[in-house]
Amino acid sequence: MALRAGTRQSAISRLERDEVSPTIETMELLLNAMGETLEFGPVPMERNYDPFHRKSMGERSPEERLALAVSWNRTAGRVREAGRKAGAGRGR
């Protein structure tokens, strides 16, 4: 690999041992030496929400959003508690 890429074996070893972080140019050089190429570009992060819901929340004021958040968290907690009690009741 070092011979093909025109670098030293010690340089490859340092990369393999995670002692140095390769530049994009080095990465490309090493990949090219293996017959591969480097693709580089922005990709959206994983989105785990409903974009329409997100948009409608964005249109509310921060005061409304905080008030809703407090209410939803309280409701979710009460539902969780009720579920726990129901589960405990079934276990008796």
Partner 1 sequence: MVDEPVLDAERIFRVLQEFEVEYVLIGGIAVQTHGHVRMTNDADLIPAPDPGNLARLADALNSMDAKVLDPGHETEAITASMLPRSTIWQFTTRDGNIDVMLEVPGGREFEQLSRDAVRISLGDVAIPVVGLDDLVRMKLARGRKVDLEDVAALTDE
- Verify binding: residue 83, partner 1, rule CB under 8 A: no
For the packed helices 9-16 and 24-33, what is the interaxial angle rounded to 10 degrees?
A: 110
Binding-residue pattern over the window 36 to 65 for partner 1, x denoting contact by CB under 8 A = --------xxxxxx-x-xx--xx-x-xx-x
**Residue 14 or residue 72: which is nearer to partner 1 going by CB?**
72
Min dist. Cβ of residue 53 to partner 1 (A)? 6
- Verify binding: residue 1, partner 1, rule CB under 8 A: no
Spatial separation of the C-alpha atoms in residues 72 and 58, rounded to whole Å = 17
The pair of structure tokens assigned to 91 is 């276990």
Query: What type of residue sits at position 11?
Result: A
Query: What type of residue sits at position 19?
Result: E
CA 35 centroid distance within chain = 29
- Verify binding: residue 84, partner 1, rule CB under 8 A: yes
Binding region for partner 1 (CB under 8 A):
44-49, 51, 53-54, 57-58, 60, 62-63, 65-70, 72-74, 76-78, 80-81, 84
